[in-house]
Amino acid sequence: MPDTQFAATYELGQYQSAVEAEVTALNDQNFTSRFWQKDATLWTQDAAAQDSIRSFMGWLRSPEVMLKAVPEIMDFVHEVQQAGFQHVVVMGMGGSTMAPIVFQRSFQQGTTSLPLSILDTTDPGTVAALEATLPLEHTLFIVASKSGTTAEPLAFGDYFYDKVKAIKGEKAGENFVAITDPGSKFVTQATAEGYRHIFLNFAEVGGRFSALTYFGLVPAALYGIDIAALIQGGVDMMGNCGANGPVAGNPGLLLGTALGVLAKQGRDKLTLITPDSLSSVGLWLEQLLAESTGKEGKGILPVAGEPLGTPEEYGTDRVFVYLGYEREADQANQQKLHALVAAGHPVITIRLKEPLDLGSEFYRWEIAVAVVGIVLGINPFDQPNVQAAKTATDALMKVVTEQGKLPAPGEPAASQDGVSYYTKVSGADATAVLQAFFAQAQPGDFMTLQAYLHESDKLNEELAQFRKLVQDKLRIATTSGYGPRFLHSTGQYHKGGPNKGLFVQFTADHPQDLPLPGRTYTFGTFENAQAQGDLDALHQYDRRTLHLHLGPNPEQGLQSVLAALPAALGKLG
């Protein structure tokens, strides 16, 4: 089942007829016209929910709107260049940073543009390491928050504003830019502090649908990307998805229907395979898919960064999506994908000509995830369970304010080599606890690693080793993410999706912490509260959790855990 215009191939095997039948059924219901008229009855018959759905469908026409905004953005880029800035830092969480990460890692920096960094973690080591690389007086800080109340970007903004103010005094605001919704409280603060520019986005566009709005495009333009061409790709995909009237082949409808039908038939773990040049797209897709579909006990789990294996390593819960470039053969992955198809696993292949095609690809997936909502019978535009972790964190921060510290976590199930193991299962030592925890795994489950740590190459290697050991032994899907980033992406699926997860959380001490201006707590305390709040929220939804506190040296602590893990898994038979 080829989609030749946008280089997509669907090898769905036994599922192909069901997907084709669903596409026909949706078209028979006048899908295209109703979709573009924002007919919320496609998703639900509940009147209140229909109002909510319509209020978040402003992204449908955002490429057309943003194409007209290109001159404004480019004038701003010229102004920044003329002012002598040497670096740009985007500070936000979730939808406000995922697209900039993809742009920064997938494109070559323009010759006359500025280096781009993204800060989306409260980890004090990460903040300090970034600060050490910046020419503060000549750095432009973009504080990106849709609501204007998101705790993390506001904390980042206050921290660096204080640093720049120590250098430039009352002119510190010249180094700051806000991207937020109209009417947010942050507009008042940014105005009072003399921010260089305030970009007002669109209230009717949710964060995970904001790649082709100011949130994604301002950083992209500063980085030297041809945003007019990028947006034009989105406009072209709009037309091919029926923006200007019914179409014979709708790329977004086909992709979304395939994923939705496969999920209903148990293939609910979308395993994304990419060449290294496109690996960061997984971060963006994780949020779009998990936050949009993981609710009401349903959903599609995005699995990114997992090395592709052989057919016998997988159960019947996988669909494989390959996203790569036409010019890259990527033979190693292609051979394995052919073997998966031959074994009956569904495989979808999408190929881009160049990085600028990400504009159309972002839009294809946004349409697709909206269609998945129709097939699964859920609202893809809300995130009802994200608030659970925020509420739990807020309660813990209140304790910090009143008592000066976080509540103690209780007694660990085991302690060994400086690592504390907190979980409901019991065991005499690390190996026994790990064995008891992973003995809970069932076919169709998944494991996710939640690292509230300072990211490093060594830690990434250790986390990948942890995933491989579990996948090889238990044959379950594995995912990994750094906190608090994932709270704004896959965190919704973790609480609202099916209860099939084994959640392993990592925390560490913060021997070199950083104070937060105007607050009674530090970045480290904030990060620890977010970790504990997330754990509390998982417990509210009866999820299986293992919290590993790695002590002052997380790389060494995780190595200790990895030393015990093979024996633990080996005892499972």
The pair of three-digit structure tokens given for residue 235, joined into one six-digit string: 């406009």
Phi and psi for 89 in degrees, rounded to 5? Answer: -125, 120
> Do 233 and 359 form a contact (C-beta atoms < 8 A)?
yes
pTM of the predicted protein model: 0.96
**Of 24, 32, 154, whose CA–CA distance to 96 is shortest?**
154
pLDDT-based confidence at residue 401 (cuts at 50, 70, 90): confident
The pair of three-digit structure tokens given for residue 259, joined into one six-digit string: 């994923």
pLDDT-based confidence at residue 4 (cuts at 50, 70, 90): very low
End-to-end CA distance of the chain: 41
The rounded distance, in Å, linking the Cα atoms of 205 and 199 is 14
- The answer, yes or no, to whether residue 423 has pLDDT greater than 90, is yes
The residues near 320 (Cβ < 8 Å, ≥ 6 apart) are 271, 273, 308, 337, 340, 345, 346, 347, 348
State which H helix or E strand residue 269 sits in.
strand 269-273
Helices (H) and strands (E) in the chain, counts: 20, 17
pLDDT mean over 273-295: 95
pLDDT mean over 302-315: 94
Place of tokens 């007209």: 68
- What letter represents residue 209's amino acid? F
Sign of torsion over alpha carbons 526, 530, 532, 536: positive
pLDDT-based confidence at residue 558 (cuts at 50, 70, 90): very high
**pLDDT tens profile 157-205:** 999 999 999 999 999 999 999 999 999 999 999 999 999 999 999 999 9
Integer-rounded Cα Rg, in Å, for the chain is 23
Residue 238 CB burial class (10 angstroms; 0-12, 13-18, ≥19) = buried
- What letter represents residue 342's amino acid? A
Q: What is the DSSP letter of 196?
A: S
Burial 317-339 (b: 16+ CB within 10 A, else e): bbbbbbbbbeebebeebbebbee
Cis, bond preceding 251 (omega within 30 deg of 0): no
Phi and psi for 510 in degrees, rounded to 5? Answer: -125, 80
CA 119 to chain centroid = 14
Residue 444 φ/ψ region, left for φ over 0, alpha for ψ in the -120 to 50 degree band, beta for the rest: left
Place of tokens 């998966």: 340
State which H helix or E strand residue 374 sits in.
helix 358-376
Q: What is the CA angle 324-257-321, rounded to 5?
A: 20
- Pairing mode of beta strands 414-416, 419-423: antiparallel
Phi and psi for 110 in degrees, rounded to 5? Answer: -65, 150
- The answer, yes or no, to whether residue 511 has pLDDT greater than 90, is no
pLDDT at residue 5, rounded to an integer: 53
The rounded distance, in Å, linking the Cα atoms of 453 and 426 is 25
**pLDDT tens profile 430-488:** 999 999 999 999 999 999 999 999 999 999 999 999 999 999 999 999 999 999 988 88
3-state SS class at 3: strand
**Of 421, 287, 423, whose CA–CA distance to 366 is shortest?**
287
**pLDDT tens profile 332-342:** 999 999 999 99
> Do 425 and 410 form a contact (C-beta atoms < 8 A)?
no
The rounded distance, in Å, linking the Cα atoms of 510 and 521 is 13
- Give me the chain's average pLDDT, please: 95
Sign of torsion over alpha carbons 56, 59, 61, 65: positive
The pair of three-digit structure tokens given for residue 453, joined into one six-digit string: 């740590």
Q: What is the DSSP letter of 120?
A: -
State which H helix or E strand residue 284 sits in.
helix 281-293
Length of the chain in residues, anyone? 573
Q: Secondary structure of 302-339 in the HEC alphabet?
A: EEECCCCCCHHHCCCCEEEEEEEECCCCCHHHHHHHHH
